[in-house]
Amino acid sequence: MQKAASDSGGTMAEIQLRKVNKRWGSFVGVDNFDLTIADQEFLVLLGPSGCGKTTTMRMIAGLEDATDGEIIIDGKVVNDLDPKDRDVAMVFQSYGLYPNMNVYENIRFPLKVRKVPEAEHDERVRRASAMVELDDFLHRKPAELSGGQRQRVALARAIVREPNVFLMDEPLSNLDAKLRVSTRAQIKNLSHELKVTTVYVTHDQIEAMTLADRVVVMKQGKVQQVGTPTDIYDHPANTFVASFIGSPAMNLMEGELRAGTFTGDNVSISGLTGPDGPVTLGFRAEDAALATDGAGQITAPIYTIELLGDATMLTVRAGRQLVSVKAHKEFRAAIGDMVSFTVPVPICHLFDQQSGMRIDQQPGMRVAAT
Amino acid sequence: MSTSKAMQQSFALRFSSGAFLAFWCLLAAFPIFWIAIMSFKSPVDAFAASPWDVITGPATRANGDGLSILDIVLGLCVLYFAVRWAFTRLPELVRHYCPPGIIALGWIFGALIYAIGFVLIFFGLLPLILGPLNGLLGPLGTPVLGLTTEHYVAVWAENEFYRNFLNSMLVTAGVVTVSLTVGTLAGYGLARSGSDLAFWLLILALIFRALPHSVLVAGYLPVFINSSEILAPIFGEGAPTLYGQPWAVIAVLVAINQPFTIWMLRSFFQNIPAELDEAARVDGCSHFQAFRRVIMPVMWPGVITTGLFSFLLGYNDFLVTSLLLDAQNQTMVPAIAGYFNRETTTTDQVEAVAAAVSITAPLFLLVMIFQRQIVSGLTAGAVKG
């Protein structure tokens, strides 16, 4: 075990979760989670609170027992192993620093309990603290540090051991917006440098998009979609993923598809392929374009207009639904004015109205089954 | 000083609240203050009708035991500097000369040297200098305040009060050790467990806490009296009779105290986030290592506060100790009660008062040493618990 801990370069830290379930009585926390996380992959578990993403991570860490299913790290079933024997390092949402120790001792603690030779301690602590730019704070107590510094101590404590797997449980959610951006960049850079398999839990879709090699979107314990950030953004598997990813969320309009023509309130788009019947049509705000001559597929009165700086966000009322469209930053109009815009067929997504599942139009797309 | 105008109190309010505070302090402190004075006077003065005589002690002075103005001034000076040094120079020296690993040991060692030094100067050097000086100074050197330590000598040496002191220490040490060991483990377990069993255990502890102490004594008494028969199958012929032994008292006091320590320590543990345990577990600790190396260092204020309450229970207990201990194992509180009960001279009464004053000294010392931890422990419990 010690050998593996001090020498992660040689080990393959592939994590396999085989039909993992977590139930508390009749409540299902995680439902049939089945996934292989490749060595050195940065995987983000994304979902609203209570979707089971943190529980999944805690099961990998060994802080929570899986009700059934197998968790395999580096080819070894770890279900019955203690957290300390799984060679994982974890960064907690509220840091979990030891308040009685100074920064140096906090970072050194894993080396001390794991009985790494004393002679290596100083060098490794200093290397880890340099990576997160904490050199000047080594003799402070956690209480004397700002939130961002504390989270960096937690990061340093995780990397000092050079573990096989990093687990990060919403590490940025206690930081203010500006610090979040810079720490996010730091985490991205660290993971690139350390090349360690990382599982990262967040409810923030921007963090997921920026950090991940692959994203797992979860809802109520069920995996909704697994894919690269581009996959998830461009080809959402269902209406939940479509509305969760992206800012603003994807526009979803209910209507009828008949002979390739979608008709809804104030909408008519033709040239689509799909079975006839009630469907939900989705498109992203930035993919629609304003039609100057009033000949677009959607023509509706403006509900509100927001200046974003780099663009102008229009929201129009199309029947019962509000639809957002990104316009040029110079665009100005009054609330209530009629506007018209075009929605190109290739960027339209069709979803089944009952199940919310994607109705696949383009061939060769990877969509995870639920 | 920098209080804003809106927050300033009117003079009348300040005066009346100050006056009330002074009156209340006097009222609360009076008994302690009065017995402290009495214990240093000869019986005639201690029970004098005029309070002024009790304070100045003319009869004590007439016996040749008294302090001159010079004695008082010099004595107060030494005391003042002793206290100041204890709070400034002593910590400095300990920090400077003691390696950081054994700081607790350094403190004990430093305090011991300091105490010996103080006793040597105050009781050895000071009288030696003051004797000839008083003779030279005339009116300044004549005794004005009667003061004698004869009752303390009588109580501690002749009445062998030190035996009671040692018995008290044995009983309290036993109670504190057992209560805290079981209490921290149980409190930690119960704080971290969400099971129904944990809840019912706590309710059960609460019920035991509510029982009158005498019920527990009555329950244990027959067992202790017959313990040699009960224990004979295990220990053979030499099985002890527990009745009258300090061990019996420790067992009963722990039974009284344990529910309270478990509840109190549990609430302290609950204030420590579970993330700390989890971080330690992931960092490489076993369950017990996480408890010992991560949780306990954070818990010290709670342990010390709970330990102080356990100490007070054992130290001040009268009912259990007076019922269960035989004469040679008697602790201080029942021993003092015994002095007062004796139908004898006023000298015995003053000796009893001196004994009563002496048993408060360790409490003062204890609170002084641990005041910071006790305050943080008490307020942490008050704010978060």
- By mean pLDDT, which of A303-317, B270-284, B366-380 is the weakest? B366-380
Q: State pLDDT tens for residues B111-161.
A: 888 889 988 888 888 888 887 887 777 777 777 888 888 888 888 888 888
Q: Which pLDDT does position B379 carry in this prediction?
A: 61
Cβ-defined contact of A83 to B294 (cutoff 8 Å) = no
Return the CATH number at A305. 2.40.50.140
Chain A residue with CA closest to B280: the answer is: A110
Same structural domain, A93 and A26: yes
ipTM for the whole complex: 0.82
Question: In terms of domains, do A328 and A179 share one?
Answer: no
* pLDDT for A294: 65
Interatomic CA distance for residues A77 and B59, integer angstroms: 89
Least confident interval from A30-44, B30-44, B88-102? B88-102
Whole-angstrom Cα distance, residue B183 to residue B176?
A: 10
Is A176 in the same domain as A106?
Answer: yes
* Distance (Å) from the alpha carbon of B152 to chain A's nearest alpha carbon: 44
Radius of gyration, alpha carbons of chain A: 24
Instruction: Let me know whether A53 and A143 are in one domain.
Output: yes
- Residue A124 domain flag: yes
Both structure tokens of B97: 């000369």
CB contact under 8 A, A113 and B283: yes
Which residue in the block uniquely carries the two structure tokens 């599982």? A199
The reported pTM is: 0.80
Q: Which of A234, A267, A282 finishes a domain?
A: A234
Beta bridge partners, A244, equal none
Which residues on chain A are in Cβ contact (under 8 Å) with B275?
Answer: 92-96
Chain A closest CA to B279's CA: distance in Å?
A: 6
* Interface touch B298/A98, C-beta < 8 Å: yes
Q: Is residue A266 part of a domain?
A: yes
* pLDDT > 70: percent of chain A: 93
CA atoms of A193 and B192, how far apart (whole Å): 38
> What CATH number has the domain bearing residue A83?
3.40.50.300
Size of interface A-B (CB pairs under 8 A): 62
CA distance A110 to chain B (A): 5
CATH 1.10.3720.10 fits B159-384, yes or no: yes
pLDDT score of A9 more than 70: no
- pLDDT score recorded for residue B2: 66
Q: Which chain B residues have a beta carbon less than 8 Å from that of A139?
A: none
> Are A147 and A281 in the same domain?
no
Q: How close is the nearest chain A Cα to the Cα of B296, in Å?
A: 10
For an interface test with B, give the residue of A90, A155, A161, A169 to mutate (most B CBs within 10 A). A90
The SS3 assignment for A77 reads: strand
pLDDT for the residue A1: 37
Which of B268, B282, B299, B376 should be substituted to probe chain A, the one whose Cβ sees the most A Cβ atoms within 10 Å?
Answer: B282
Alpha-carbon separation of residue B141 from A220, B37, B53, B67, B365 (angstroms)? 90, 22, 21, 8, 33
Distance from CA of A109 to the nearest CA of B (A): 7
Residue in A closest to B299 by C-alpha: A100
Using a CB-CB cut-off of 8 Å, the residues of chain A touching B373 are: none
Q: Which residue in the set A88, A94, A98 is minimally distant from B282, CB to CB?
A: A88
Model pLDDT, residue A363: 44
The pairing of strands A197-202 and A42-46 is parallel
**In this structure, are A102 and A173 located in the same domain?**
yes
Q: What are the tens digits of pLDDT across the range A276-335?
A: 888 898 999 888 888 876 677 888 889 999 998 888 998 988 878 888 988 888 888 888
CB–CB of A92 and B293 under 8 A?
A: no
Whole-Å CA distances, A235 to A48, A207, A210, A281, A365: 20, 19, 17, 13, 8
Which residues from B are below 8 Å from A94, CB to CB?
Answer: 273, 275
Provide the token pair at B210. Answer: 């509510």
State residue A23's pLDDT score. Answer: 92
* Chain segment A231-280, per-residue pLDDT in tens: 999 889 999 999 898 888 898 888 888 888 888 877 888 888 888 888 89
Which residues on chain A place their C-beta less than 8 Å from a C-beta of chain B? 61-63, 82-84, 88-90, 92-100, 109-110, 113-114, 157, 161, 167
Q: Answer whether residue A364 is part of any domain.
A: no
What is the domain extent for residue A315?
Answer: 249-352
Q: Where exactly does CATH 1.10.3720.10 map onto chain B?
A: 159-384
Instruction: Please indicate whether, in this complex, the C-beta atoms of B279 and A90 are within 8 angstroms of each other.
Output: yes
In this structure, the answer to whether residues A268 and A225 fall within a common structural domain is: no
Helix segments in A65-116, DSSP class H: 103-113
Is the distance from CB of B198 to CB of B190 less than 8 angstroms? yes
Cα separation of B258 and B270, whole Å?
A: 18
**CB contact set of A215 (below 8 Å; sequence gap of 6+):** A43, A44, A46, A208, A209, A225, A226, A227, A228, A229, A232
C-beta atoms of A63 and B278 within 8 A: yes
The per-residue pLDDT for range B286-317, each reduced to its tens digit, is: 999 999 999 988 888 889 889 999 999 999 99
Which of residues 240 through 279 in chain B touch A, CB cutoff 8 A? 273, 275-276, 278-279
For chain A, say whether B284 makes contact (Cβ under 8 Å): yes
Q: For the CA atoms of A287, A291, A297, A302, what is the dihedral angle to 10 degrees?
A: 90
Q: Residue B294: which of A95, A98, A157 has the nearest Cβ?
A: A98
| Per-residue confidence band for B343, with pLDDT thresholds at 50, 70 and 90 | low
Cα three-residue angle B359-B362-B364, rounded to 5 degrees: 105
What residues of A are in contact with residue B286 (Cβ under 8 Å)? 82, 84
Token pair 């919403």: residue:
A170
Q: Indicate if the pLDDT at residue A369 is higher than 60.
A: no
Number of domains in chain A: 2
Helices assigned H by DSSP within B39-160: 43-46, 51-56, 58-62, 69-87, 89-97, 103-119, 126-137, 150-153
Contact of A13 with A197, CB cutoff 8 Å = yes
**Residue holding tokens 């989270």?**
A151
| SS3 call for B157 | helix
Same domain for A230 and A289, yes or no, is no
Are A83 and B282 an interchain contact pair (Cβ–Cβ within 8 Å)? Answer: yes
The distance of B178 to chain A (nearest Cα, Å) reads 26
Check pLDDT > 60 for residue A364.
no
Tens of pLDDT, residue by residue over B181-234, are 999 999 999 998 888 999 999 999 999 888 888 888 888 888 888 888 888 788
pLDDT above 50: residue B341:
yes
Q: Is residue A170 domain-resident? A: yes
**A175 against A126, higher pLDDT:** A126
Residue A154 shares a structural domain with residue A90: yes
**Greatest distance between any 2 Cα atoms in chain B:** 81
Question: Which residue stretches of chain A are H helix?
Answer: 2-6, 53-61, 103-113, 118-131, 147-159, 177-194, 205-211, 229-234, 239-244
